[in-house]
Amino acid sequence: MSWMRYIKDFVSFLKIEKGLAENSIFAYQNDVEKLKDFAEANSLEVDQIELKHLNAFVKELYDLGLSARTQARILSGVKQFFRFLLLDGELKSDPSELLEMPKIGKKLPEVLTIEEIDALIDAIDLSTAEGHRNKAILETLYSCGLRVSELVNLKYEDIFFDEGFIRVIGKGNKQRLVPVSPSVAKEIDLYEVATRNHMNIQPGNESFVFLNRRGAKLTRVMIFTIIKNLVEKAGIRKNVSPHTFRHSFATHLLEGGANLRAIQEMLGHESITTTEIYTHLDQAYLKEAIISFHPRSKKG
């Protein structure tokens, strides 16, 4: 069977069996096609690939000047591909099983302090048509730890304010329940009264919570633009994106004593190791606090 047929079957597996989003499927396919190009240049069929060939492939990625993080992402897709072929009975062994991943230094994500979040919210002009909407957006991002895609796709049928939670449709169409604070409910109500109830909503967009001035669902790009403008207005010099609010949500929960497993559930992380980056953030925070404020640090 040809490389493209194997890749097509892999894509079908990711879509139907794993339920991955289109962006994730495209990324995996792109990763495997890089290996296909390497293999075809060396006259190798799928069942001829060995560990030595994969190591040569890694060297080629390195020679192209790709970062360790990018190399690791590509190799992760390649490993998924070979695991699929093994499970599907197309291969008798997995040549990527002993493949070493590039070592990546942990890069701590940018986090806002509580004071900086307050400053961003205070920078919103509530006299404008979008003011209450933008405040509701920031409150929801920070209070619920949502991804930007989850925010723009939030629907009224997923909101249960009386019960105190919202239903979030995350990666791979997986659902989770996230506790929602009274401040979020209050700001969404104010947004409805001040703006949304007076809008001419476009057909098919009635159930989406956050809309643009033309009555259509907001885009991811628009959320980035709203935040970028508020960051400039508040005079914050950090690199802030919608995801920064998600990192801040998790970090502040951990600093407040929340259980790592509970944070994992609320963020919708499939693996606890993804959430464990916040323990590194918390250790950095504690180290800074000790150096700055512990009386033993001021001696000698």
Phi, psi values for residue 36, rounded to 5°: -55, -45
Active-site entry in 53, 167, 171, 220: 171
Tell me the torsion sign for CA atoms 278, 283, 288, 292.
positive
Buried b (16+ CB within 10 A) or exposed e, 189-225: ebbbebbbeebebeeeeeebbbbeeeeebbeeebbee
Active-site entry in 167, 186, 243, 285: 243
DSSP secondary structure letter of residue 180: -
In angstroms, the CA 85 to CA 94 distance is: 8
Active site residue 269: yes
Q: What's the number of CA atoms in the CB half-sphere (13 Å) around residue 113?
A: 6
* C-alpha separations of 180 from 133, 138, 224 in Å: 17, 13, 23
Active site residue 243: yes
Active-site entry in 147, 196, 217, 247: 147
E strands of the chain, at which residues?
159-160, 165-169, 175-179
Active site residue 156: no
Q: Are strands 175-179 and 159-160 parallel, antiparallel or unpaired?
A: unpaired
In angstroms, the CA 32 to CA 47 distance is: 14
Active site residue 278: yes
Active site residue 171: yes
In angstroms, the CA 100 to CA 57 distance is: 12
Active-site entry in 135, 246, 247, 252: 246
Active-site entry in 278, 285, 294, 296: 278
Active-site entry in 34, 36, 252, 269: 269
- Residues tagged active-site: 147, 171, 243, 246, 269, 278
